[in-house]
Amino acid sequence: MKRIFSGIQPTSSMTLGNYLGAVRNWVDLQGPEFETIYCVVDLHALTQPQDPDALRTNTLSLAATLIAAGIDPGKSILFAQSHVHQHAELAWLFSCIARIGQLNRMTQFKEKAGKRRDEAYVGLYTYPVLMAADILLYKATHVPVGEDQKQHLELSREIAGSFNHRYGVDFFPLPEPQILGTATRVMSLRDGTKKMSKSDESDFSRINMTDEADLIAQKFRKARTDPHPLPEAPEGLEGRPEAENLVNIYAALARSSVEQVLAEHGGSQFSSFKQALTDVAVTALSPIAAAVNRLMADPAQLDAVLAEGAEKAEALAAPILADTRRLMGLAQRARG
């Protein structure tokens, strides 16, 4: 059976970028072809300082948003990373497989640490090792993510390959990235050359899954554009990152293609296109926001869903970690 693993950080609320680049694909991939495991990666969130109460709340509200978006705990394993301690243990073992040169190449670390590298936390640097552990702890074969995680996944494949090579085994699969749809890299609404991100200072740079209809309309109205009407064909989007971004978002939300969107809206001014975009966004997102509110009214139920998910995840993870330890030569603890 093919097995999917993917994760999302509980830092503030989910953005439209997370949804279109990853989470909606997670939902679509649930079904007979794959066993699906989805994780709220709270240990990853700790790589930047977090307010402890906010982190706890965000973990629950992100789980609620995932369920509201269509992750069905009856079909998928949904859990919080820190509830399954094996993730951290495998990350240590993998930190003795990964090399410093490999981590030095990670562009996300360079971007996040900026010029003050010496002050960055060690966890931010070794983060891709934990991510490899997340995936390989389940021997996952497929990993649906947005474009920005491609390099981290490449490292996961390298770690799996190095492990297999060092111990002369065919133990870990090389996980395949699944980067699907027309919105694999949703850009900021304020700057079409920057990724839409939870951590951008301006809330107007992003759509959050829980934004009300009026706010969504306002954000799209204020979104940066250029003075030209929309082109009739995709080639006309070249060199127009803001226009391209809005068209990609529209196509993804309407489950259409860029060609079709331009066939319909080519020649339009942004004012009318933004109105149409707001309509498709509100239609897609408002039922999700309403479901989040309903789910958050019963936090004990969410806790129970995560607890059950952790139990199932641990049942898969424990034997794989035990085999890994054995292959690496760690002595077994005698019992009794």
Q: How many residues bind ligand TYM (CB under 6 A)?
A: 25
Of residues 80, 129, 145, 292, which one binds ligand TYM by CB under 6 A? 145
Binding test (CB under 6 A) with ligand TYM, winner from 3, 4, 5, 83? 5
> What are the structure tokens assigned to 176, written together?
């395949």
Q: Which of these is catalytic: 75, 115, 150, 195?
A: 195
Contact 230, 262 (CB under 8 A): yes
Determine which residue in the list 185, 240, 312, 325 makes contact with ligand TYM, applying CB under 6 A.
185
Q: Which of 75, 112, 139, 312 is catalytic?
A: 112
Q: Is residue 22 involved in binding ligand TYM (CB under 6 A)?
A: yes
Residue with the CB atom nearest ligand TYM in the bound state: 21
The alpha-helical segments, DSSP class H, found in the chain are: 16-18, 24-29, 42-45, 52-69, 86-95, 100-104, 107-113, 122-136, 150-167, 213-222, 241-253, 258-265, 270-296, 299-328
Residue closer to ligand TYM, measured from CB, 108 or 268: 108
CB-count burial class (<10 Å; 0-12, 13-18, 19+) for 141: middle
DSSP states of 221-232 as a string? HHS---SSPPPS
Active site residue 112: yes
Q: Least distance (Å) from ligand TYM to the CB of residue 320?
A: 15
Give the residue from 241, 257, 242, 243 showing the smallest Cα distance to 181: 257
Q: Give yes or no for residue 7 binding ligand TYM (CB under 6 A).
A: yes
Annotated catalytic, 2?
no
Q: Which stretch binds ligand TYM (CB under 6 A): 140-148, 292-300, 318-326, 328-336?
A: 140-148
Q: How far is the CB of 227 from ligand TYM (least distance, A)?
A: 25
Q: Does residue 196 touch ligand TYM according to CB under 6 A?
A: yes
In angstroms, what is the minimal distance from the CB of 5 to ligand TYM?
A: 6
- DSSP annotation of 15: B
Query: CB–CB of 78/71 below 8 Å?
Result: yes
Q: Is 75 one of the annotated active-site residues of the chain? A: no
Listed residue (14, 1, 16, 3) closest to 181, CA to CA: 16
Q: Which residues contact ligand TYM by CB under 6 A? A: 5-9, 17-18, 21-22, 41, 44, 131, 134-135, 143, 145-146, 148-149, 152, 184-186, 195-196
Give the active site residues: 112, 195, 198
